Amino acid sequence: MEPRPRSFYVLSVFFALFLLFLYGPTITIGILSFQGPGGGLTFPMRGTSLYWFRDLFEQQAVGDIWGSFRRSFALGLMVMVTTVVVSVMGGLAFRKKFPGATVLFYLIITSLVIPSILISLGVGLMFSQAGLTVHWATSGFGAQLTWTLPFGLLIMFAVFNRFDKSYEEAARDLGASPWQTLRHVVLPIIAPSLIGVALFGFTLSYDEFARTLLTAGSYNTLPLEIYGMTTNVTSPVLYALGTLTTLFSLAMIAVFLGITWIATRRRAAHGSDAGSGVV
Amino acid sequence: MALVLLVFLVAPIVMIAVVSFWQATEFSIIPAFEFDNYEFLFGSSVTYRVFVNTFKYALITWAFTFLIGFAVAYFLAFHVRSLTWQIALFLLCTIPFWTSNIIRMISWIPFLGRNGIANSALMSWGVIDAPLDWLLFSDFAVILAFVHLYTLFMVVPIFNTMMRIDRALIEAARDAGANGLQILWNVIVPLCKPGIMIGSIFVITLVMGDFITVRFMSGSQSANVGRLISNDIALLQYPSAAATAMVLLATVLIVIAILLRFVDIRKEL
């Protein structure tokens, strides 16, 4: 190993500062959410307590936090499942050329880059003009899919671009039907990436704000609820809620990463070489 | 899948396009075909100011996210030597991306407020005598929040392309007598171009389409196009909101088209 150049140390410091920049504010509100009952929105801390967390569980005057959490969670799961299924199907379809593939591909890119408020406005308008009521599970669900699907699809494209076709050919030569090949060869190999897609689908939906704004109807999702609170709640209860949802997001990430880790371990223990085709 | 995109992407855009030609009164919107909304839009000096402001945000944010993102990706790709550490540090960078944007905006309040950490620290060091008012609810805060939220979108694609650079190329450059800066500028930057472009597309479109960060971090004092639209929506002026939205869409697509000239996304995946 060659000695580390001086730029290494400069960049290490820079990287550490970047991490501080990323995490610092979040950690600060984490600390501030333990304010004593008399504390305000900023330092100094006036004692430590769980007062604001209790407040969060009791007072329901400013809306329906737990209901919105349940809705966000359900919506997140719906979006997650749909994203995974559709991304896999789309990824498989795009491996062969089919009529309209290019158009569809650019449509996907457009969907990714289009300002989110346009989707919100458009879906909202469409529903109101068609005489349908907007509801988080219909219009909100669709609006969020325009954001999570392209992400999932792009990941699947990347996966299938690196996919070694000889595995499938081997399966076919051994007499597997197309369905068996998919079920026992392709899916296990791409499984780790699927967990990634699922994580994207869930978290992007769970935190989505702009797209749900005009499409959620009368029942708010959690980000909308939090946004509503920022305009009329000026106590650390806001921080307590923020800390809780952040912890929840972190827990979800940990769960997904844990699943990946266990899956890799089990695969290693079985001595299977499946997955080595995926880099 | 094509169906989902058709129903929830193409149809809404068509709907907006149609509505943008409608007529609005104070109580209702009437189907029509006129250019009133566009005439009003292009006739108003507010529109131009707001568009200039939007471009200003996009440009400044892009510059910062690019510099920070490139440095971080470079550190991860070339200075961290074990793969385990690379993955661990990379995950550490991406985790905030998976948490709520709104919460991450709120969390700047205790830092930047009048009695916030930044002001108290500066005052106790004797740098300033009175609290700075421009920290929170200002353009500064807006751009800070943008950089905070979106740098990740730069780091990930740039890191991705950097990891694919053949290390032999760098050694070859060094053997040919290039110094560190020359390697960076003549070898690494050109090879990272696709990643840089993809990151730029993300950052620029996200910033241009944003309205919530601007509203929240500027304390309703600055405006960009997204806010113009959301204000119209709040006033139930859907046709005028739709017209603004169409102009925004056209602008964003033009910017993307220019950026796409430099990179073939399909090939880079």
List pLDDT tens digits, range B146-159. Answer: 888 888 888 888 88
Higher-scoring residue by pLDDT: A91, B64: B64
Residues 6+ away with beta carbon under 8 Å from B174: B183
Summary mean pLDDT of chain A: 74
Give me the residue from A8, A43, A223 closest to B102, CB to CB. Answer: A223
Yes or no, beta carbons of B113 and A105 under 8 Å apart: no
> In terms of residues, how long is chain A?
279
pLDDT digits (tens, 9 = 90+) for B137-184: 777 888 888 888 888 888 888 888 888 787 788 888 888 877 777 877
Q: What is the pLDDT of residues A97-140, one digit of tens each?
A: 777 677 777 777 777 777 777 777 777 777 776 666 666 666 77
Task: Give the side-chain half-sphere CA count within 13 A for A271.
Answer: 0
CA distance B197 to chain A (A): 13
User: Domain residues of chain A, as ranges?
Assistant: 61-270
User: HEC profile for chain B?
Assistant: CHHHHHHHHHHHHHHHHHHCCCEECCCCEECCCCCHHHHHHHHCHHHHHHHHHHHHHHHHHHHHHHHHHHHHHHHHHHHCCCHHHHHHHHHHHHHHHHCCHHHHHHCCHHHHCCCCHHHHHHHHCCCCCCCCCCCCCCHHHHHHHHHHHHHHHHHHHHHHHHHCCCHHHHHHHHHCCCCHHHHHHHHHHHHHHHHHHHHHHHHHHHHHHCCHHHHHHCCCCCCCHHHHHHHHHHCCCHHHHHHHHHHHHHHHHHHHHHHHCCCCHHHHC
Most trustworthy range by pLDDT among A49-63, A166-180, B9-23? A166-180
Class of domain B46-224+241-268: mainly alpha
Asked if A223 and A208 count as a contact pair (C-beta separation under 8 A), the reply is yes
Distance CA B114, CA B141 (A): 13
User: Phi-psi category of A219—alpha, beta or left, where left has phi over 0 and alpha has psi -120 to 50?
Assistant: beta
Q: What is the per-residue pLDDT across A191-239, written as a single tens digit (0 to 9) for each?
A: 777 887 888 788 777 777 767 766 666 666 777 777 777 666 666 777 7
CA B161 – CA B73 distance, rounded (Å): 10
pLDDT of the residue at A279:
40
What is the pTM for the complete model shown? 0.78
Best interface-test mutation with B: which of A35, A121, A224 has the largest number of B CBs within 10 A?
Answer: A121
Report whether B144 contacts B111 (CB < 8 A): no
Q: Crossing angle of helices A187-207/A237-270, nearest 10°? A: 180
Distance of CA A243 to the CA centre of its chain: 18
Q: What is d(CA B116, CA B126) in angstroms, rounded to the nearest whole number?
A: 16
Domain positions in chain B: 46-224+241-268
Proportion of chain A above pLDDT 90, given as a percent: 0
Q: How far is CA B267 from CA A104, B77, B113, in A?
A: 16, 21, 46
Distance to chain B for A175, nearest Cα, Å: 31
* Helices and strands, number each (H, E), in chain A: 12, 0
Strand partners, A236: none
Three-state secondary-structure class, residue A43: coil
Contact B257, B188 (CB under 8 A): no
Domain A61-270 in CATH 1.10.3720.10? The answer is yes
How many CB pairs below 8 Å do chains A and B form together? 218
As given in the structure block, the two tokens for residue A225 are: 């609820």
The residues in B 219-238 lying below 8 A from A, measured between CB atoms, are 226, 229-230, 233, 238
Q: Is B245 on the interface with A (CB under 8 A)?
A: yes
Task: List phi, psi (to 5°) of B8.
Answer: -105, 0
Portion of chain B with pLDDT greater than 90, in percent = 0
CB spacing of A207 vs B11 below 8 angstroms: no
